[in-house]
């Protein structure tokens, strides 16, 4: 439930947060780089204005939010049971501790006793159970069921065969035991972890929950901030929760999320209309870095760009051809030209920030058009008619269509570079008209795109099951590999982190050898803020759940 | 006249019906639906299909159309797929902003365009006329988007005269006259940006219309019978020359509800234009259909009002 998978964003959010965010891993000079650790003693009070480049939808509800902007509010108003820190280690929040059964099929969650809802009522086991029951309810209209259906009996409730989820039991007022359908490698990553207040929502018809004022404006959370005023198309104002259970936090009295057009945000930041601009596109970031009034931060994000290959197409049957395509692609050149250097090479479906990242693949497939030519020759692809492009082994013309969605300026710049790169290795590529986002997805669903330039947003948990299993719904590559499937299944139930890491390393190596898709580049997340803003330890989380640690020096 | 209006209003019903069928067909034939791409590897495809079922997207298009028509005729515009809010709430939320911006724009346009157009027509092909013509063409060819950014850069970021975005100051909690002034402060920059474009074209129309009328025989007659220049202008030239403005007024009125997507986006002005754009991108059928129908209705009504005004302004036009 952490980072929203980018494929699921609406097109607008996609334009803003998905494709323009392609960027690079260089460190700034230490003085200007955002590192909250050296900012001194926090000051309480003051106001912080945050630029949001997409409007809020206004569903400030842990089980109903869908957009990144709404998430920024939800995760500062509601706390999680546990959360991932900068290095993706679990940190307790509403749960003070947890125990996982040795067979990985159950866990017990111990809630803190001092956490309170914004109206003063304590956060209890009943709230957590109520939240799970709501999500499993057949009347639920949101999209979170997949993080509850792992609990025994949740599916039965969803299918109206039971009134209650059988796998949940209340041990006492602050302790909940969950039983799972099957053994989970890391239940903490899979279980839904943002409780909502039972005493508020039990009175509301689940069908109307998403548009009820308890979701829209009168939000009762338990996090460091409360919603003071919400005008989703223009701004959302949060105010300090004075009774927050983490003593001494938050420091800020008020946080204003101001919706502002991406074209105006840079000017507004310079002028001081906003204090921080998270998620800056690369082209604007370089300009802001030169501004002496500002501090900038650039860190690895969880998203990466790739060129998908449809394995149902006979063109990509031969592994050597796929390998040749990667060797023929100047990926570093694309980072330089398209992302203005804000990005890094990536060769696996695991973020570099994760404990499971396989460093051995760091330098796989360097740009080498000659190697590409050699592999193509081996596979029987030769230029028989002397036009500079190879023909397939049967002597027929060979060319690849590069599909991309029209909403993305960066994709439009990437595709011609790939075409030129491939030309040097004798591979012909065509660039058809780009398609509008939803049209593109529809064609992708129907398997009508032989290649597709897209992006994945990764989860802190490295489990590749939902994307890479041969029969996974999101395996749009139609990639089938029994060896990969076997490793994926093994890691999904391996509770020993070190063993799981080994299995995942093997899996990434299998994928790296087999080249089911062309990994292009990982992205960085860039932010800039005024010097008065302190305590910002910039990383992939941006403002999601991090605002409680920040303060401003001009607090009154 | 009353008969005429009633006849025209009744005539709108079959027209709107045909428009609605066409719109519904168009909207349905765009690839994808609200739940395409609303996919997340953590969400089973099955649950997405359940959502389609819940929102009635699995029914045949014909069936869906008649359900929509029945609800629409009863004033039930449906629930937005994306926002989960009633469509009427979404529109009400934005219509005020759209009308406020459009009316301010219209006022600025008329206040500037009419005097400039007349001034220009009275001195055809002189240096000042040519200058105005040049600027009109620059104004006409300036993309709204660019004009809006330029305006923000100069007046908001450098001179700090106007706020760059929003309709009110966030969290200021103004009331009464202060609130009104705050709204006005926010609307001026986008309104002027939009007005500059229409001023450019209005000026051209008024100029040529005035020039045209000035060459009419009745104007020469008026001069011949010894009327002073000012009186000829006021009574004979302007009254006739400004008649075509009624057509523009009718069109403007109709276009009012279409909003101005680009300007609204740049200025973060939550109006109908952006709602229409966003709902189309998201395939939010209930919102799309209601907005498109609203535009169709307002264009038809705008035309009707223009026709009525013609009858009032021009004694030659009679509808009975």
The per-residue DSSP string of A329-396 comes to --HHHHHHHHSTT--B---SSS-TTSTT--GGGTT-S---HHHHHHHHHHTT-B-SSSSSS-B-TTS-
* DSSP element (H, E) containing B198: helix B176-214
pLDDT exceeds cutoff 60 at A455: yes
Lowest-pLDDT range of A201-215, A455-469, B44-58, B228-242:
B44-58
Using CA atoms, how far apart are residues A152 and A225, in angstroms rounded to an integer? 34
Q: What is the pLDDT of residue A146?
A: 83
A57, A233, A261 ranked by CB distance to B82: nearest: A57
Using CA atoms, how far apart are residues B67 and B63, in angstroms rounded to an integer? 6
3-state secondary structure of A286: helix
3-state secondary structure of A495: coil
pLDDT confidence band for B65 (50 / 70 / 90): very high
In the predicted model, what is the mean pLDDT of residues A80-104? 94
Considering the four listed CATH numbers 3.40.50.300, 3.40.50.970, 1.10.3720.10, 3.60.10.10, the one that applies to the domain covering B96-281 is 1.10.3720.10
Lowest-pLDDT range of A31-35, A83-87, B274-278:
A31-35
- Among candidate residues A345, A344, A390, A350, the one with its CA nearest the CA of residue A366: A345
A8, A237, A473 ranked by CB distance to B170: nearest: A237
CB A274 within 8 A of CB A258: yes
Q: What is the pLDDT of residue A37?
A: 58
Largest CA distance in chain B: 86
Q: What is the pLDDT of residue A502?
A: 96
CB A57 within 8 A of CB A67: yes
The ranges of chain A annotated as CATH 3.10.105.10 are 301-524
pLDDT exceeds cutoff 90 at A60: yes
**CA of A65: which chain B residue's CA is closest?**
B83
Q: Is the peptide bond before A250 cis (omega within 30 degrees of 0)?
A: yes
Report yes or no: B53 at the A interface, CB cutoff 8 Å.
no
Looking at per-residue pLDDT, the higher value among A304 and B55 belongs to A304
pLDDT in tens, A144-200: 888 899 999 999 999 999 999 999 999 999 999 999 999 999 999 999 999 999 999
Report yes or no: B46 at the A interface, CB cutoff 8 Å.
no
In the predicted model, what is the mean pLDDT of residues A253-279? 92
A12, A146, A234 ranked by CB distance to B44: nearest: A146
Residues of B in Cβ contact (< 8 Å) with A228:
171
Q: What is the pLDDT of residue A148?
A: 92
pLDDT above 90 covers what percent of chain A?
77
pLDDT exceeds cutoff 70 at B116: yes
pLDDT confidence band for A228 (50 / 70 / 90): very high
Residues of A in Cβ contact (< 8 Å) with B42:
1, 5, 146-147, 466
Using CA atoms, how far apart are residues A526 and A528, in angstroms rounded to an integer? 7
Using CA atoms, how far apart are residues A119 and A221, in angstroms rounded to an integer? 9
Q: What is the pLDDT of residue A514?
A: 94
In the predicted model, what is the mean pLDDT of residues B295-316? 86
- Count the alpha carbons within 13 Å of B186 in the hemisphere toward its beta carbon: 20
Using CA atoms, how far apart are residues B120 and B133, in angstroms rounded to an integer? 8
Q: Is the pTM value of this prediction over 0.90? A: no
Using CA atoms, how far apart are residues B143 and A126, in angstroms rounded to an integer? 57
Other Cβ atoms less than 10 A from the Cβ of B305: the count is 16
Using CA atoms, how far apart are residues A87 and A89, in angstroms rounded to an integer? 6
Q: A296 - beta bridge partners?
A: A33, A528
- Among candidate residues A494, A553, A521, the one with its CA nearest the CA of residue A356: A494
CB B308 within 8 A of CB B300: no
Report yes or no: B228 at the A interface, CB cutoff 8 Å.
no
pLDDT exceeds cutoff 70 at A393: yes
Report yes or no: B165 at the A interface, CB cutoff 8 Å.
yes
B36, B43, B84 ranked by CB distance to A146: nearest: B43
**CA of A136: which chain B residue's CA is closest?**
B47
In the predicted model, what is the mean pLDDT of residues A372-399? 92
Q: What is the pLDDT of residue B40?
A: 62
B37, B42, B270 ranked by CB distance to A146: nearest: B42
Using CA atoms, how far apart are residues A402 and A502, in angstroms rounded to an integer? 35
- Sorted by where each begins, the domain ranges of chain B are 32-67, 96-281
In the predicted model, what is the mean pLDDT of residues B189-197? 88
Q: What is the pLDDT of residue B234?
A: 85
In the predicted model, what is the mean pLDDT of residues A428-455? 91
The token duo for A187 is 């239940």
User: DSSP character for A308?
Assistant: E
Looking at per-residue pLDDT, the higher value among A334 and B37 belongs to A334
Other Cβ atoms less than 10 A from the Cβ of A393: the count is 12
B261: Cα separation from own chain's centroid? 10
pLDDT confidence band for B260 (50 / 70 / 90): confident
In the predicted model, what is the mean pLDDT of residues A122-143? 93
CB A341 within 8 A of CB A436: no
In the predicted model, what is the mean pLDDT of residues A430-444? 90
| SS3 track for A152-202 | CCHHHHHCCCCCCCCCEEEEECCEEEEEECCCCCCHHHHCCCCCCCHHHHC
pLDDT confidence band for B42 (50 / 70 / 90): low
Q: What is the pLDDT of residue B249?
A: 83
Q: What order of strands is seen across the sheet that includes strand A175-179?
A: A95-100, A106-111, A175-179, A168-172
Q: What is the pLDDT of residue A5?
A: 37
CB A23 within 8 A of CB A339: yes
3-state secondary structure of B34: coil
Q: What is the pLDDT of residue A32?
A: 43
Q: B281 and A10: CB-CB below 8 Å?
A: yes
pLDDT confidence band for B41 (50 / 70 / 90): low
pLDDT in tens, A471-486: 888 898 999 999 999 9
- Among candidate residues A213, A80, A63, the one with its CA nearest the CA of residue A544: A80
Other Cβ atoms less than 10 A from the Cβ of A102: the count is 8
Q: What is the pLDDT of residue B44?
A: 67
All residues at 6 or more sequence positions from B123 whose CB lies less than 8 Å from its CB, including other chains = B129
pLDDT exceeds cutoff 80 at A20: no
CB A257 within 8 A of CB A521: no
Give chain A's mean pLDDT: 89
pLDDT exceeds cutoff 60 at A445: yes
- Among candidate residues B180, B263, B267, the one with its CA nearest the CA of residue B172: B180
Burial, A412: exposed, middle or buried (Cβ in 10 Å; 0-12, 13-18, 19+)?
middle
Q: A122 - beta bridge partners?
A: A116
In the predicted model, what is the mean pLDDT of residues A115-131? 96
pLDDT exceeds cutoff 80 at A1: no
pLDDT above 70 covers what percent of chain B?
97
Using CA atoms, how far apart are residues A163 and A180, in angstroms rounded to an integer? 18
State the nearest Cα–Cα gap between A89 and chain B, in angstroms.
21
**CA of B278: which chain A residue's CA is closest?**
A12
The token duo for A278 is 């998270």
CB B236 within 8 A of CB B219: yes
CB A389 within 8 A of CB A373: no
Residues of B in Cβ contact (< 8 Å) with A260:
164-165, 268
**CA of A227: which chain B residue's CA is closest?**
B171
CB A517 within 8 A of CB A484: no
Q: What is the pLDDT of residue B39?
A: 55
Q: What is the pLDDT of residue A15?
A: 31
Q: What is the pLDDT of residue A28?
A: 39
- Among candidate residues A466, A501, A473, the one with its CA nearest the CA of residue A185: A501
pLDDT exceeds cutoff 80 at B178: yes
Domain A301-524: which topology? Dipeptide-binding Protein; domain 3 (3.10.105)
User: DSSP character for B258?
Assistant: G
Q: What is the pLDDT of residue A38?
A: 66
Q: What is the pLDDT of residue A16?
A: 30
**For chain B, what percentages of helix, strand and coil (3-state, to nearest 5) are there?**
75, 0, 25
All residues at 6 or more sequence positions from A242 whose CB lies less than 8 Å from its CB, including other chains = none
A12, A258, A270 ranked by CB distance to B278: nearest: A12
The token duo for A85 is 């820190």
pLDDT confidence band for B320 (50 / 70 / 90): low
* DSSP element (H, E) containing A455: strand A451-457
Q: A258 and B270: CB-CB below 8 Å?
A: no
Residues of A in Cβ contact (< 8 Å) with B51:
141, 143
Using CA atoms, how far apart are residues B191 and B264, in angstroms rounded to an integer? 10
Q: What is the pLDDT of residue B2?
A: 85
Largest CA distance in chain A: 79
Report yes or no: B265 at the A interface, CB cutoff 8 Å.
yes
Using CA atoms, how far apart are residues B7 and A228, in angstroms rounded to an integer? 52
Q: What is the pLDDT of residue A17?
A: 30
Using CA atoms, how far apart are residues A204 and A219, in angstroms rounded to an integer? 13
Looking at per-residue pLDDT, the higher value among B45 and B4 belongs to B4
State the nearest Cα–Cα gap between B260 and chain A, in angstroms.
15
In the predicted model, what is the mean pLDDT of residues A82-95? 93
Looking at per-residue pLDDT, the higher value among B36 and A368 belongs to A368
**CA of A138: which chain B residue's CA is closest?**
B50
Q: B314 - beta bridge partners?
A: none
pLDDT confidence band for A21 (50 / 70 / 90): very low
- Statement: A32-275+532-552 belongs to CATH 3.40.190.10: yes
């Amino acid at each position: 439930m952490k980072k929203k998978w980018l494929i699921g964003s609406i097109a607008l959010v996609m334009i803003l947060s998905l494709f323009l965010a392609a960027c690079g891993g260089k460190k700034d000079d230490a003085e200007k780089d955002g590192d909250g650790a050296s900012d001194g003693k926090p000051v309480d009070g003051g106001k912080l204005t945050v630029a949001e480049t997409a409007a809020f939808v206004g569903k400030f509800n842990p089980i109903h939010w869908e957009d990144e902007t709404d998430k920024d509010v939800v995760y500062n108003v509601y706390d999680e049971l546990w959360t991932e820190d900068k290095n993706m280690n679990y940190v307790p929040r509403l749960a003070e501790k947890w125990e996982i059964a040795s067979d990985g099929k159950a866990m017990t969650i111990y809630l803190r006793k001092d956490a309170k809802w914004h109206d003063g009522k304590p956060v209890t086991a009943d709230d957590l159970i109520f939240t799970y029951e709501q999500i499993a309810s057949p009347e639920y209209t949101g999209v979170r069921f997949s993080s509850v259906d792992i609990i025994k009996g949740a599916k039965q409730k969803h299918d109206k065969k039971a009134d209650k989820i059988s796998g949940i039991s209340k041990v006492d007022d602050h302790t909940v035991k969950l039983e799972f359908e099957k053994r989970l490698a890391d239940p903490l990553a899979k279980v839904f972890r943002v409780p909502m207040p039972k005493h508020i929502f039990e009175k509301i018809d689940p069908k109307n929950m998403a548009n009820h004022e308890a979701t829209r404006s009168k939000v009762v959370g338990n996090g460091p901030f409360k919603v003071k005023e919400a005008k989703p198309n223009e701004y959302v104002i949060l105010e300090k929760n004075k009774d927050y259970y983490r003593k001494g936090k938050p420091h800020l009295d008020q946080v204003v999320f101001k919706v502002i057009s991406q074209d105006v945000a840079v000017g507004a930041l310079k002028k001081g209309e906003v204090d921080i601009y998270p998620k800056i596109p690369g082209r604007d970031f370089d300009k802001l870095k030169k501004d002496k009034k500002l501090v900038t931060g650039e860190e690895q994000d969880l998203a990466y760009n790739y060129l998908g290959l449809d394995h149902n197409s006979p063109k990509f049957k031969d592994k050597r051809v796929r390998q040749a395509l990667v060797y023929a692609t100047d990926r570093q050149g694309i980072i330089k030209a398209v992302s203005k250097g804000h990005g890094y090479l990536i060769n696996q479906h695991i973020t570099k920030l994760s404990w499971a990242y396989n460093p051995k693949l760091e330098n796989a497939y360097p740009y080498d058009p000659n190697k590409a030519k050699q592999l193509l020759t081996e596979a029987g692809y030769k230029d028989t008619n002397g036009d500079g492009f190879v023909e397939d082994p049967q002597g027929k013309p060979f060319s690849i269509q590069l599909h991309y969605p029209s909403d993305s300026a960066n994709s439009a710049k990437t595709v011609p570079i790939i075409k030129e790169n491939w030309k040097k290795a004798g591979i012909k590529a065509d660039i058809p008209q780009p398609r509008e986002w939803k049209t593109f997805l529809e064609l992708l669903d129907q398997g009508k795109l032989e290649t597709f330039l897209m992006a994945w947003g990764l989860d802190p948990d490295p489990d590749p099951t939902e994307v890479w299993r041969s029969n996974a719904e999101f395996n749009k590559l139609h990639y089938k590999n029994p060896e990969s499937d076997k490793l994926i299944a093994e890691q999904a139930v391996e509770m020993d982190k070190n063993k799981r890491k080994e299995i995942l390393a093997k899996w990434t190596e299998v994928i790296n050898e087999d080249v089911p898709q062309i990994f292009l580049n990982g992205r960085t997340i860039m932010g800039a803020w005024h010097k008065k803003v302190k305590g910002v330890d910039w990383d992939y989380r941006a403002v999601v759940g991090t605002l409680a640690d920040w303060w401003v020096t001009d607090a009154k | 006249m009353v008969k005429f209006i009633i006849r025209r209003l009744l005539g709108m019903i079959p027209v709107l019906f045909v428009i609605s069928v066409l719109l519904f067909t168009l909207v349905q034939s765009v690839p994808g639906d609200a739940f395409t791409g609303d996919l997340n590897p953590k969400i089973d495809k099955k649950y997405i299909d359940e959502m389609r079922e819940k929102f009635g997207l699995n029914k045949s298009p014909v069936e869906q159309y008649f359900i929509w028509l029945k609800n629409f005729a009863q004033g039930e515009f449906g629930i937005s797929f994306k926002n989960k809010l009633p469509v009427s709430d979404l529109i009400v939320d934005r219509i005020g902003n759209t009308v406020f911006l459009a009316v301010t724009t219209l006022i600025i346009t008329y206040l500037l365009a009419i005097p400039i157009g007349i001034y220009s027509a009275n001195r055809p092909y002189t240096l000042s006329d040519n200058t105005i013509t040049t600027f009109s063409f620059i104004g006409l060819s300036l993309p709204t988007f660019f004009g809006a950014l330029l305006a923000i850069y100069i007046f908001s970021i450098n001179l700090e005269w106007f706020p760059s975005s929003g309709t009110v100051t966030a969290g200021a909690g103004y009331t009464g006259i202060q609130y009104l002034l705050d709204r006005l402060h926010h609307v001026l920059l986008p309104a002027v940006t939009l007005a500059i474009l229409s001023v450019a074209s209005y000026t051209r129309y008024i100029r040529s219309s005035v020039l045209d009328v000035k060459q009419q025989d009745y104007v020469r007659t008026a001069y011949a019978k010894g009327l002073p220049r000012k009186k000829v202008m006021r009574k004979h030239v302007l009254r006739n020359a400004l008649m075509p403005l009624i057509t523009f007024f009718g069109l403007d009125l109709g276009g009012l509800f279409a909003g101005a997507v680009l300007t609204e986006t740049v200025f973060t002005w939550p109006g109908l234009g952006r709602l229409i754009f966003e709902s189309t991108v998201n395939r939010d059928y209930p919102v799309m259909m209601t907005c498109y129908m609203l535009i169709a209705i307002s264009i038809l009504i705008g035309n009707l009002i223009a026709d009525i005004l013609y009858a009032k302004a021009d004694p030659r036009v009679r509808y009975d």
